Structure 1
Amino acid sequence: MPVLDLIDDTYMACSPETLAPLVSRPGLAAELWPEWRVSVTEERGVEGVRWEVGGPVVGSTEVWIERYRDRGSLVHVYVRVDPVGRPWSARAAERHRERTRRRVKAVMWELKDRVERDS
């Protein structure tokens, strides 16, 4: 199991078709993971995007869009990375996880506010 293994889910009151272009735009990955190098490994259309992660950590990350009922979407963010070089202590791993979780949630809430305001 990766040292940093994070799952975040956010409901958005819009269709996957509305979210897909916003999730696949290059700037989203930079907002979510500014200190990591990410490259798209799979552009999944209305289902989201998968990235390979490099830099101070290595692994993968993904934003998966799932249709929810008639007019909504669940946006799942997965992060699975390990540090490069020296391993993290348990305390450092928890700090990285919490910082990453807060950043992901802030970006997802900003996206939610934007799409729900425009709907």
Structure 2
Amino acid sequence: MRWRSLPVVDVVDETFVRAAPLSVRSALEEPGVLDGLWPGLERELVQDRGAKGVRWRTGGEVTGRLEIWLEEVPGGTIVHHFVHGTQSGGPRAWERVHRRRWKSGLHDIKDRLEGRTR
């Protein structure tokens, strides 16, 4: 029998938002936002860091860990986003689709918090 490893998922992203960390956190916690950004991921809270972000264990399409780290910087917040784990099956397209969905959703929040519309 040949050993077949599951595909590794390793997503890292950083986006600057001209808003306070708590404002970004509040926008991310609006109903349905996180589920829309990560469909197919089941999240279990590991650590709620308040204005600094949240860490979860994940199941579903990716088994591993997920984190949003909100770093306060002059003029706003850098939103750090990490997903690391193994994909449960299917093509590796999950990472590419996830990156696009995450970036698009976060830019919608960014635009709203910064007073712009698309």
Same fold (TM over 0.5): yes
The answer to whether the 8 A contact 1:42-1:49 is kept is yes
The verdict on how the C-alpha distance between 1:116 and 1:19 changes in structure 2, with shifts beyond 3 A counting, is same
2:81 aligned to which of 69, 77, 81: 77
Q: Deviations over 1:81-103 (max 9, x none)?
A: 2023x5x6xxx32x221111101
Identical positions, percent: 33
TM-score, with structure 2 as normaliser:
0.82
Unpaired runs of 5+ residues, structure 2, are 1-6
Q: Which residue of 1 aligns with 2:3?
A: none
Displacement of 1:57 after TM fit? 2.0
TM-score, with structure 1 as normaliser:
0.81
The answer to whether the 8 A contact 1:24-1:49 is kept is no
Runs of 4+ in 1 over 6 A off after TM superposition: none
Higher helix share: 1
What letter matches 2:96 in structure 1?
E
**Could you say what the CA RMSD is over the residues aligned between the two structures, in angstroms?**
1.9
Unpaired runs of 5+ residues, structure 1, are none
The answer to whether the 8 A contact 1:53-1:59 is kept is yes
Does the alignment pair 1:53 with 2:58? Answer: yes
The answer to whether the 8 A contact 1:29-1:38 is kept is no
Q: Which residue of 1 aligns with 2:111?
A: 113
Q: Which residue of 1 aligns with 2:46?
A: 41
Report how many aligned residue pairs link the two structures.
Answer: 110
Q: Which has the larger radius of gyration?
A: 2
